[in-house]
């Protein structure tokens, strides 16, 4: 099992890339942004609490985000059925009269979490209680001008309430102020690696896949 965090400012394409990597490498994709938007769309009590926060481009509180992550980890680590690889392994063990192997825990790619140093520290606490560890933090680097261009382009075809001029700039400011320090935090620990995300989606994905092949090689 490998645990990987994918970083990038709004517009860097981390959501798209995380989905592509999850599909290619059979990873569990945990996107806090998607989780929160689902709560808003469903009109849950949590969704009502965070709707205005998200539309302003502010970061949702640490406790709320961590509770979503903890719930998702419980579901994906403890509650999911055996995948095809595990089932084949189990059948071979039964036929050979060997001990039935334990369920393989899937690798996870975190998209949009942790966004603050405090969240990073809270994630370490959660991991320690689950006998887990963070293996790599990947940052997709894109210039500010390109980020703004991409978000404007996305806004033209999306119905997301957080894709407007004022919110876009506020989200970028929030990223620089609160999330950029997280990269420094992980750089000190030696977990951070950065890749150029300024090209086409396919170009960035090729770079990421080369890196993922290296990270997952011993899994």
- The mean per-residue pLDDT over the stretch 157-178 comes to 75
pLDDT band at 80 (very low <50, low <70, confident <90, very high): very low
| Joined tokens for residue 113 | 């979490």
Choice among 13-27, 121-135, 148-162 with the minimum mean pLDDT: 148-162
- The mean per-residue pLDDT over the stretch 194-204 comes to 94
Q: How many other β-carbons are positioned within 10 Å of the β-carbon of residue 72?
A: 19
The answer to whether the beta carbons of residues 167 and 30 sit under 8 Å apart is no
Reported as a single tens digit per residue, the pLDDT across 181-192 is 999 999 999 999
1 has pLDDT over 70: yes
Percentage, residues of the chain above pLDDT 90: 33
- Stated pTM of the model: 0.76
CATH class of 3-215: alpha beta
Reported as a single tens digit per residue, the pLDDT across 84-131 is 545 666 677 778 877 655 556 678 999 978 988 998 998 998 898 888
- The mean per-residue pLDDT over the stretch 153-158 comes to 74
The answer to whether the beta carbons of residues 9 and 174 sit under 8 Å apart is no
Round to whole Å and give the CA distance between 162 and 155: 9
pLDDT at residue 78 in the model: 52
Cα 199 to Cα 12, 98, 159, 211: the distances in Å are 10, 50, 25, 17
Choice among 39-48, 79-88, 157-166, 194-203 with the minimum mean pLDDT: 79-88
């Amino acid at each position: 099992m490998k645990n990987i965090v994918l970083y990038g400012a709004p517009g860097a394409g981390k959501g798209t890339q995380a989905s592509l990597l999850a599909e290619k490498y059979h990873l569990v994709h945990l996107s806090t942004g998607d989780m929160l938007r689902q709560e808003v769309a469903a009109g849950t009590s949590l969704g009502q609490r965070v709707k205005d926060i998200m539309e302003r481009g502010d970061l949702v509180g640490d406790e709320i985000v961590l509770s979503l992550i903890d719930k998702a980890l419980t579901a994906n680590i403890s509650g999911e059925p055996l995948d095809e690889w595990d089932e084949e392994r189990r059948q071979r063990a039964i036929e050979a009269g060997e001990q039935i192997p334990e369920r393989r825990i899937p690798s996870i790619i975190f998209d949009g979490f942790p966004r603050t140093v405090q969240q990073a520290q809270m994630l370490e606490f959660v991991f320690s209680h689950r006998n887990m560890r963070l293996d790599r933090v990947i940052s997709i680097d894109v210039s500010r001008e390109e980020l703004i261009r991409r978000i404007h382009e996305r806004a033209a075809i999306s119905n997301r309430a957080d894709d407007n001029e004022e919110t876009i700039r506020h989200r970028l400011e929030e990223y620089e102020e609160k999330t950029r320090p997280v990269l420094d935090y992980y750089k000190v620990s030696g977990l951070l690696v950065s890749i150029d995300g300024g090209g086409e989606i396919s170009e960035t994905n090729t770079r990421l896949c080369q890196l993922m092949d290296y990270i997952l090689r011993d899994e």
